[in-house]
Structure 1
Amino acid sequence: MKIFKCLFFAFLFPASAAFSQYNLVIVGGNPGGIMCAISAAKLGKTSVILERTGHIGGLPANGLGATDIATRGATTGLFTDFTGRIKKYYIKKYGEHSEQVKMCSNGYHFEPSVAEMIFEQMLAEYSDKIKIYKMRQFDAEEKNVSTQNNKITKIRVTNRLTKQTEEYQGDVFIDGTYEGDLAAAAKIPYRIGREGKDEFAEDGAGRTYKYWDGPVGEGTTYQADNAVQAYNYRLCLTDNASNRVTITKPRKYDRDEFKSLANDIWDGRHAGVEMLNVSAEMMAANRKNIAKGDTSGIPGDKWGIAKITNRVFLPNQKTDANNQHLGLISTDLPEENWPWPTSGWDWRDKFAERLKSYTLGLIYFAQNDPELPVSFKKSSGEWGLAKDEYKDNENFPRQVYVREGRRMEGTYFFTAHDAIAVTPGSRPPLHANSITASHYALDSHAVRKRESGKIHLDGFISYLSDVYTVPFGVMMPKELDNLLFPVPVSGSHIGFSTLRMEPCWMAIGQAAGIAASLAIDSKLKLKNLDLSILQDKLIDQKATLIYYKDIAPDDYDFKMVQYMGLRGYLPGWEARLSEAMDVQTAKLWRAISGIEMNGDAKLTRGQELKSLYQSLIKRDTK
């Protein structure tokens, strides 16, 4: 039986030959690493993806089915390819006018199993260029990285099935891990924890207590510390009785961990800004009403499973159930995850089990505890794990949501100011060497559990940002010549909090694959690349480097607008190519280019821009 089992696993996870040589060696089968391999394969380069688990796809394949992007169209390229395939899958399987297609939200919302399937399909199209080895563990120890002449020559991983060490050689190495393990083992400097507000003058930096959607409160010092924002599992829950698995009491259930939730339910207490106007008398009245069978009447309060999970609805009556940002206790488990970024996998695996037990215990409490209102338990009890997801893992996500690990220090250090408009209505600072546009709030989860008298959990903040550009330097080390880190990118805690979304990681990964390919072809160090060529290749792969509301990657003038926009010719949010040329625009373009322009109103902005673009291209190629 044991021999059969070994042969079976060897078939699923084939062993690699020692000293396997590839153009790119990618540690981490997360979306950033996957897109890196695909973009390099498009340019004829070979890659190996070394994934620790038995599945590829990272968090999108582990419950993060509600795509985190504030402006759709800001990030495109292979990310758009991914969402487009998601939509086509639901159309083909269920019909164009089906409920599933509606719930997939143009491919931005999807079931975990569907995400994994789409990633596998995308990779399979380049099976001659991309090899995937699962159950390969990289440990962040210096002995596992060999360097020579300021380059990595090979790395060592452990085959988790055979327990044997395997070595991989490559031209360029990619850290696609959420933790930054490869870059750390290669001695790249990194940061962990929170900078104080005094360092970069960022809103939300350091120790911060803030009502959700409201002001900061007592206890806020903005001081730096070593705190790491909380992790959780993104749960795939369903209220479909035929596909629902009932959550039972976990073996290590500790009711004391959850009992503070009972008073929150009866009082209607939460962490939203509405609580500023909630009195003790209102909470007392709320208790009486709930005892009569009513739901909570406190403004902003949630009821049932929504009290402990923030749900986004997915196709087939499922949800992406995240931590409830209004909750003083939810599926996040602050403080206990702090060692994760620099710990070994033995510790991480134990924490993952602890977090699983905690999460299941919390839901069990909400559905069964005798101190809770009957109507609350009944409402919560309508939900369970989806029976058709994670069938090999008790229908539970296989991967912890590591929101932030090590943040490597690259040639550019991204802060909150890179994501906020310089003046109201304008753009954030424009990075001429942009590798993608992106957009999400400056968003961090809590770093500490609830504290007596505090309005919310320390560090749970969100501040609005604007569509921004991401410079190449966020994934480029200052020293090593053949390493890129498109996932554990360079930035402050607050700056990283917007870059850490999967669409952005996919886009940076796509850029990493192209950059690596160009460096190999030109025999140049990565830091010596001509970034304009990198940008041209990205645009050819339909990546958006600077966002405009009125220009899409399939538009005829997309490449011209990207080129001119990055050089400051189109500072607004719209290119307005069809509008008449005006004197003010002519003055701006003349000042930047040094080329005389008349501002002829008989011509459109697009016509004048095209003429200028052709002149600049001709000048730049001389």
Structure 2
Amino acid sequence: MKRLYHFIACILFLYTLSAQNKNYDVVIVGGTPGGIMTAIAAAREGKSVLLLERTSHIGGLPANGLGATDITTRNATTGLFHEFVSRNKQYYIDKYGNSSQQVKDCSDGYHFEPSVAEQTFHSMINTQGDRITVLYNRQFDSEPQNIKRSGKVIEAVRILNRDNRQIETYMGKVFVDATYEGDLGAAANIPFRVGRESRDEFNEICAGKIYRHWGVQFGRGIKSHFNGYEGYESEGTTYQGDNAVQAYNYRLCLTNDKSQMRPVLRPENYNRNEYISLIEDVWTGRNTGVDMQNITREQMEANRESLKKGNKTIIPGDPWGIAKITNMVKLPNAKTDANNQHMAFISTDLPEENWPWPTAGWEWRDNYAKRLKDYTLGLIWFAQNDKELPRHFREACKEWGLSTSEYLDNENFPRQVYVREGRRFEGIYFFTANDALPVTLGQRPPIHKQSIAASHYALDSHAVLKREEGRAHLEGFFGYESVPYTIPFGVMASGKVDNLLFPVPVSGSHIGFSTLRMEPCWMALGEAAGIAAAQMIEQKKPAQELDIETVQQKLIANKATLMYFKDISIDSPDFAMVQYMGISGYISAWNASLEDMADKELVKDWTTMSGLKIPVHMTKRKEILYFIYNQKIKQSWDN
């Protein structure tokens, strides 16, 4: 047996030595979904890729509990992300049958178990054979000495092997920061921001210090963007900027299936005082929802009396049982994605204490991760066991526990903290809320000619402060409806370093970043980064001088959406043409409306834009667009 262990150790040593001595085309720090899609896209372009992951598992948050995909318009983001969800769905079809409950619960692959997400990522990587090398337990520490550079070019990175505590060096032509924290870019001295901008800096909705009831953000929220900011915020709002970082938590995989449920035990570092405010919240039904504006003290006392009789809460919008402290979305196999409960003053988020995380070292981060785990388990244990809570409330909470079929090597608890926001770099383009909101009511946001991805999720930030007496909600918490938008290449490139891309810690304000930070968007940006990295090598150009049209052409050929249209899917034979013409400015409406007739004013505009004489017999939008596309756009791009 000792000989076998020695043999395996020797093989691993030789494998690592070989990996270090090889000069890769693309070196990626961070096995997040954005990093994984970067690796796959670059490999499909024929490039050799090294993917360095700090833990023993790849996949980031989707492989650690975020199984209810954060995307509002599903067809707005496609490409490799669409392949990811399609593979998820196919997994459930193959294993359980097309008409199974698991297939229904997977919601076309957008809802998935953590272990399935990790398996899907591995299967996608494996399609690239030996073009992608993945090394685990490789830690990059964000210090300049861990980068070897010549002028504006990074030549190699120094990595800590966490297994043997040795320093390893890896060389590459293009480097990619796919970490949630932005560690590689910071070590390369790319300017970055941490915290929140004031409202005045970029004229952004919800910027800076803000208090809002949960619920005013949606529906009525769009109105406030066009008619001013006032009237939706609560007392205490100043819109001032600061260094506050939105809260982190763990996305728990909970189940009420007793055959696969692990009870939550009281953690060793349990502190009851952290949770006692929940007691009155349960008895009175107090919550952060907009309906609380109309709830009187008498109604809350009536709720107390009703609970004493064994009834559930009678306060409008007040969650009951485990839902009081965590919001759950159903996943296949009786599992849930359990996130923070936005309607609660106390939930699985732990604000304030995470502020140092973006720029802290890994020792501090690991200590905070342990603290957050203890806090989370303590909160659930409190809700299930504290005798000052109503008995039937506790019993309702006890119906839930951790899934025994997830995170088998980590006591069925997620391995990774949900880092919602780390460093945000200052790149060639700085994305703000105004890039995700309509220019005028009912219209699109600004259309970026250098778009390399489209996406759609609300402007969304969690709290930055813990509970404060007399406030409508935790400070910094908001959600605000956006519309599908385009994302320019410049958000992940800087003029400071020629061969570095950062598709995860992208360039933007706190509010702008709050919609870009969703995993589907990061996957789309990762795919674009992989193709861009390959083109940087082939064109022999730095990121800031790259021919973006070539990147766009390849993305569109891979069915990646660069500009969303309501009436054109990726399966449409007109998809490529409409994408080209859209980002070129010929189609600005939400619908391409190809079968409609083009009026004289539109023909005149297209004639001016293209410089072409459009044949008079062409009257339908589709035939005119194809004429311009074939004569000008396609010909230009093909050359």
Shorter chain as denominator, the TM-score bin is: over 0.9
Partner of 2:503: 486
Q: CA deviation at 1:4?
A: 7.0
Give 1:154-303 correspondences, 5 Å limit.
154-214=156-216, 215-303=232-320
Q: CA deviation at 1:530?
A: 1.1
Q: Using the alignment, how far apart are the partners of 2:240 and 2:104 within structure 1? A: 45
Matched, 1:342 2:342: no
Q: 1:295 to 1:606 in 2, by over 3 A?
A: same
Retained in 2: the 8 A contact 1:586–1:599?
A: no
Could you tell me which runs of 5 or more consecutive residues in structure 2 were left unpaired when the two chains were aligned. 217-231
| 1:89-143 CA distance string (max 9 Å, x none) | 0001001011000000000000000000000010011122000000000000111
| Aligned counterpart for 2:149 among listed residues 147, 152, 157 | 147
| 1:490-511 CA distance string (max 9 Å, x none) | 0000000000000000000100
**Percentage identity across aligned positions?**
58
Partner of 1:92: 94
Partner of 1:367: 384
Q: Using the alignment, how far apart are the partners of 1:343 and 1:330 within structure 2? A: 24
Retained in 2: the 8 A contact 1:9–1:161?
A: no
DSSP-derived class of the 1:128 partner: helix
Retained in 2: the 8 A contact 1:583–1:599?
A: no
Residue 588 of structure 2 aligns with an amino acid whose one-letter code is P
Residue 73 of structure 1 aligns with an amino acid whose one-letter code is N
| Aligned counterpart for 1:105 among listed residues 104, 107, 110 | 107
Q: CA deviation at 1:6?
A: 7.8
Say how many residue pairs are matched: 621
Residue 208 of structure 2 aligns with an amino acid whose one-letter code is G
| Aligned counterpart for 1:420 among listed residues 437, 454, 457 | 437
| Aligned counterpart for 2:613 among listed residues 596, 603, 621 | 596
Q: CA deviation at 1:16?
A: 4.2
Q: Using the alignment, how far apart are the partners of 2:536 and 2:289 within structure 1? A: 50
Q: 1:386 to 1:283 in 2, by over 3 A?
A: same
Q: CA deviation at 1:149?
A: 2.9
Quote the RMSD (CA, aligned, Å): 1.6
Q: Using the alignment, how far apart are the partners of 1:91 and 1:283 within structure 2? A: 48
Give 1:26-175 correspondences, 5 Å limit.
26-175=28-177
DSSP-derived class of the 1:592 partner: helix
Q: Using the alignment, how far apart are the partners of 1:206 and 1:232 within structure 2? A: 21
DSSP-derived class of the 1:301 partner: coil
DSSP-derived class of the 1:341 partner: helix
Q: 1:16 to 1:397 in 2, by over 3 A?
A: farther
DSSP-derived class of the 2:242 partner: coil
Retained in 1: the 8 A contact 2:549–2:637?
A: no
Q: Using the alignment, how far apart are the partners of 1:253 and 1:158 within structure 2? A: 33
Retained in 2: the 8 A contact 1:333–1:449?
A: yes
- Indicate the larger mover: 2-11 or 289-298: 2-11
Retained in 2: the 8 A contact 1:111–1:315?
A: yes
Q: CA deviation at 1:541?
A: 1.2
Q: Using the alignment, how far apart are the partners of 2:493 and 2:7 within structure 1? A: 41
Q: CA deviation at 1:261?
A: 0.4
Q: 1:83 to 1:596 in 2, by over 3 A?
A: same
Q: Give TM-score scaled by structure 2 length.
A: 0.95
Q: Using the alignment, how far apart are the partners of 2:533 and 2:599 within structure 1? A: 42
DSSP-derived class of the 2:56 partner: coil
| Aligned counterpart for 1:614 among listed residues 630, 633, 636 | 630
| 1:318-375 CA distance string (max 9 Å, x none) | 0000000011000000000000001110000000000000000000000000000111
Residue 471 of structure 1 aligns with an amino acid whose one-letter code is P
Q: Using the alignment, how far apart are the partners of 2:12 and 2:57 within structure 1? A: 11
Q: CA deviation at 1:591?
A: 2.6
Residue 328 of structure 1 aligns with an amino acid whose one-letter code is F
Retained in 1: the 8 A contact 2:61–2:418?
A: yes
Q: Using the alignment, how far apart are the partners of 2:410 and 2:8 within structure 1? A: 18
Partner of 1:525: 542
Q: Give TM-score scaled by structure 1 length.
A: 0.98
Give 1:439-588 correspondences, 5 Å limit.
439-588=456-605
Residue 368 of structure 2 aligns with an amino acid whose one-letter code is F
Partner of 1:395: 412
DSSP-derived class of the 1:437 partner: strand
Q: Using the alignment, how far apart are the partners of 1:223 and 1:620 within structure 2? A: 46
| 1:572-609 CA distance string (max 9 Å, x none) | 11111122333233122123212233665x74211121
Could you tell me which runs of 5 or more consecutive residues in structure 1 were left unpaired when the two chains were aligned. none
Q: Using the alignment, how far apart are the partners of 2:174 and 2:614 within structure 1? A: 45
Q: Using the alignment, how far apart are the partners of 1:419 and 1:352 within structure 2? A: 32
Q: Using the alignment, how far apart are the partners of 2:17 and 2:250 within structure 1? A: 32
Retained in 1: the 8 A contact 2:494–2:543?
A: no
Q: Using the alignment, how far apart are the partners of 2:628 and 2:472 within structure 1? A: 56
Q: Using the alignment, how far apart are the partners of 2:475 and 2:9 within structure 1? A: 45
Q: Using the alignment, how far apart are the partners of 1:451 and 1:314 within structure 2? A: 34
Q: 1:4 to 1:535 in 2, by over 3 A?
A: same
| 1:402-445 CA distance string (max 9 Å, x none) | 00000011000000000000011110001000000000000000
Residue 607 of structure 1 aligns with an amino acid whose one-letter code is E
Q: Using the alignment, how far apart are the partners of 2:301 and 2:208 within structure 1? A: 35
Q: Using the alignment, how far apart are the partners of 2:637 and 2:274 within structure 1? A: 64
Q: Using the alignment, how far apart are the partners of 2:601 and 2:102 within structure 1? A: 49
Retained in 1: the 8 A contact 2:207–2:239?
A: yes
